[in-house]
Structure 1
Amino acid sequence: MKIVDVCEFYAPEGGGVRTYIHAKLAIGARLGHQIIVIAPGNRAEVVEYENGCRIIYVKAPALPFDKKYGMFWDAAPVHAILDAEQPDVLEASSPWRGAWVARSWQGQALRSMFMHHDPISAWAYRWFDGVATRDVIDRQFEWFWRYLRRMCNSFDFTICASPSLQKRLTGGGIRGAVNIPMGVDAGVFSPARRHMSVRRDLLARCSLPDTATLLLGIGRHTPEKRWPCVIDAVARVAAKRPVGLVLIGNGHQQASVIEHVSGNPHIQLLEPVRNRTALATIMASCDALVHGSSAETFGLVASEALASGLPLIIPNGGAVADIAHPDFSETYTPGNAHAAADAIMRLLDREGDQLQSAAHRAAATARTLDDHFAALFQTYAQAISEKREAA
């Protein structure tokens, strides 16, 4: 199949979407498919990959609040590419301008909306959780649900990488919502990558001895990631127990995150690690992952951490909550630093060998991105076959 993804949230220095797109290019080529990604960029450019796969950048304005990312403005150049490529499957991967551009193309193709972003969780729930119930919030944001229904129901599928998101979208009246669970890079993330020297060096950065507990956070510095909540929680615990936090990432709220750390020597910020093997080594060398966002659509970082043998301290909402299990996780109310600190303390008080064994058993059965893409492409191939038979 030829699959063209109009991917508004792809950027060369992006996070989870970038990881996902590069995996799709590589695995798609290996499975005999041609993957073409159309992304907004600061100039028109084509980057070639194997098997005819490529990323085609369309010159577009940058997002004002995060200039690493762009926004499709003029539909004409995207439509011209689609006219030339004539894909079997047309994907849109955000419910914003990129989806409108893909939706308005007049060609014949199976159409799929891939929910890389969960706007209701990222904004509405984050703003009003604790003030009103989810049902009340959904009713107040019915205008946005109408928008999502109009957009998503114009596609053949709405692909969700977590069962909780599929359930919410289906309950909100979106037809064709399909859950195809995410996975991790095969052979990259593993408990075997744990290195005590790496762990010791990271703890030393946190001004702590190697007898302390090393927590890891990974993600962009944006509001929905809720890093101030995580930082406050770790600071509360670090006042009582020897605990350090290494937080990997950057973003348009980096200055605010740095200010929130307020010079705490036990909390250290690191730039994003692009080398996947190096990142996997850091992951496996920490003692647990602590996460703040309840607006994840993939839970990719949590899945990678679990595949690395790490126990999880995560919010009880969003895709990360779908990954949690009492054997190797502690959960807390999203955005509540006191609850997050309590969750960290509960994890620290558990029997270490049992916790590690449970996390390692989960790592041994981790779903891979190969599994995810095989299921995704099979879903598309079957739908195309059914359409042809019906015709």
Structure 2
Amino acid sequence: MKIVDVNEFYSPTGGGVRTYVDRKMAILADMGHALTVIAPARADAVEERPGGGRVVYVRAPRLPLDANYGLFWDAAPVTALLDRIDPDVVECSSPWRPAWIVADWRGRALKAFFMHNDNVEAYPKRWFERVASGQAIERGFAWYSRYLGSFLERFDTVTTNGPALTRRMQARGVRVDATMTLGIDRTPFSPAHRDDRLRAALLAQCGLHADAHLLLGIGRHHPEKRWATIVDAVARVGAVAPVGLVLIGEGVGTAQLERRAAGSPHIRLFRPVYDRALLARIMASCDAYIHGSVSEPFGLVVSEALASGAPLIVPDVGGAAELARPPYAETFSGGDAGTCAAAILRLLARDRRVLRRAAGIAAATVRSDREHAAALVDHYAACIAGRTACAA
């Protein structure tokens, strides 16, 4: 099967999307399928990958607020590539210009829209949460659901990346044909990678002894990730308990987070770690992984942390909440530093060995990306076999 992903969110310096797509490309190659990604970039270029996969970069404008990403506008270069490749399936996940480029293309391929994010939750519900209720914001942005329907009706199948997003979309009356829950590359991650010396070194970076508690957060420094909530909560807890926080990442909000964390000697910000083996050791060596985003419908990094045997402190809604279970996790109200601080204190009060053991058992249950890819290909094959029966 030849699959083309017209992906406006793919970037060599990106985070979860890049990780997902690169791994998916390798898995599909192992399965005998070829994935080509068409992505915006500063200049035209082609990256060949083993097994027939490749990334074709098309020159396009930069995203104004984040230069890591580009914006498709001109349809001609994209449709010319689609004509040349003649795929069996063309995927798209951006609801903006790429959706219409794919919808208007007249090739033979199955057209699949894969929902990876929830723009209403990520933006207006965050922007206006202090002045309006969630229900009021949903009503005010009902036009966005109608907009989605205007192009989704021209796709052969519509899927989401997890049950949290499926429930949100269906509650708004948006079409979803199948839930294709994501998975992770389980290979690098294991509780066996726990390194007490690394843990002690990280705590020392936070000005704490080895008997303190080490919290870890990983992700882009962007308001939708709500790292400010985490920083404020840890600062509160740090006043009454020995706890350190290591935040790994960077982004448009880095300077603001640095200023916010400056008042606490036990919070440290580090640049992204691209060495997967080292990242796996860090994850396995923390005492808990903490996450702030409520808008992410699936948490790749949260899954990786759990696969590493890390207990979780996460919001009570969104993709991260799907992974939280009482034996190894505590939850809080998204965006609320007070309830986040309370969740941290509850976790710190629990028996570390029992907590770690429960997380270690849960690590073996984390869904793999191979399971996800196999289910997705089976879904596409069923849709191609019968275009009118796309629901899995």
Aligned to 1:365: 365
Aligned to 2:8: 8
Q: What is the rounded CA distance, in whole Å, between the counterparts of 1:153 and 1:287 in structure 2?
A: 47
Change (3 A) 1:351 1:153: farther
Contact 1:5–1:37, Cα closer than 8 Å, also in 2: yes
Contact 2:166–2:176, Cα closer than 8 Å, also in 1: no
Q: What is the rounded CA distance, in whole Å, between the counterparts of 2:5 and 2:280 in structure 1?
A: 28
Aligned to 2:242: 242
- Say which SS state the counterpart of residue 67 (structure 1) adopts: strand
Aligned to 1:144: 144
Change (3 A) 1:277 1:153: farther
Amino acid aligned to 2:154: S
Aligned to 2:178: 178
Question: Does residue 1:218 correspond to 2:218, yes or no?
Answer: yes
Contact 2:383–2:389, Cα closer than 8 Å, also in 1: no
Question: Does residue 1:322 correspond to 2:352, yes or no?
Answer: no
Aligned to 1:35: 35
Shift of 1:116: 2.2
How many residues align? The count is: 390
Contact 1:330–1:346, Cα closer than 8 Å, also in 2: yes
- Say which SS state the counterpart of residue 284 (structure 1) adopts: helix
Q: What is the rounded CA distance, in whole Å, between the counterparts of 1:161 and 1:361 in structure 2?
A: 24
Contact 2:142–2:172, Cα closer than 8 Å, also in 1: no
Amino acid aligned to 1:171: A
Shift of 1:154: 2.5
Amino acid aligned to 1:286: C
1:163-184 CA-to-partner distances (Å, cap 9, x unmatched) read 1210111222222342111111
Aligned to 1:279: 279
Contact 2:164–2:297, Cα closer than 8 Å, also in 1: no
Shift of 1:131: 4.6
Amino acid aligned to 1:145: S
1:29-80 CA-to-partner distances (Å, cap 9, x unmatched) read 0000010000000100000012221000000011110001000011100000
1:121-158 CA-to-partner distances (Å, cap 9, x unmatched) read 10122233465443322111111111122233322222
Matches within 5 A, 1:1-391: 1-129=1-129, 131-387=131-387
Amino acid aligned to 1:32: G
Q: What is the rounded CA distance, in whole Å, between the counterparts of 2:72 and 2:211 in structure 1?
A: 50
Q: What is the rounded CA distance, in whole Å, between the counterparts of 2:158 and 2:216 in structure 1?
A: 32
Q: What is the rounded CA distance, in whole Å, between the counterparts of 1:300 and 1:55 in structure 2?
A: 22
Contact 2:160–2:176, Cα closer than 8 Å, also in 1: no
TM-score, normalised to structure 1's length? 0.97
Contact 1:35–1:53, Cα closer than 8 Å, also in 2: yes
1:220-268 CA-to-partner distances (Å, cap 9, x unmatched) read 0111001111000000001110000000000111111111112522111
Contact 2:93–2:115, Cα closer than 8 Å, also in 1: yes
Which range moves more in the overlay, 240-249 or 177-186? 177-186
C-alpha RMSD of the superposition: 1.5
1:332-378 CA-to-partner distances (Å, cap 9, x unmatched) read 11100011000100111112222111111100222111111111111
Q: Which runs of 5+ in 2 are unaligned?
A: none
Aligned-residue sequence identity (percent) comes to 51
- Say which SS state the counterpart of residue 10 (structure 1) adopts: coil
Which range moves more in the overlay, 85-94 or 147-156? 147-156
Which range moves more in the overlay, 116-125 or 34-43? 116-125
Amino acid aligned to 2:20: Y
Which range moves more in the overlay, 42-51 or 96-105? 96-105
- Say which SS state the counterpart of residue 387 (structure 2) adopts: helix
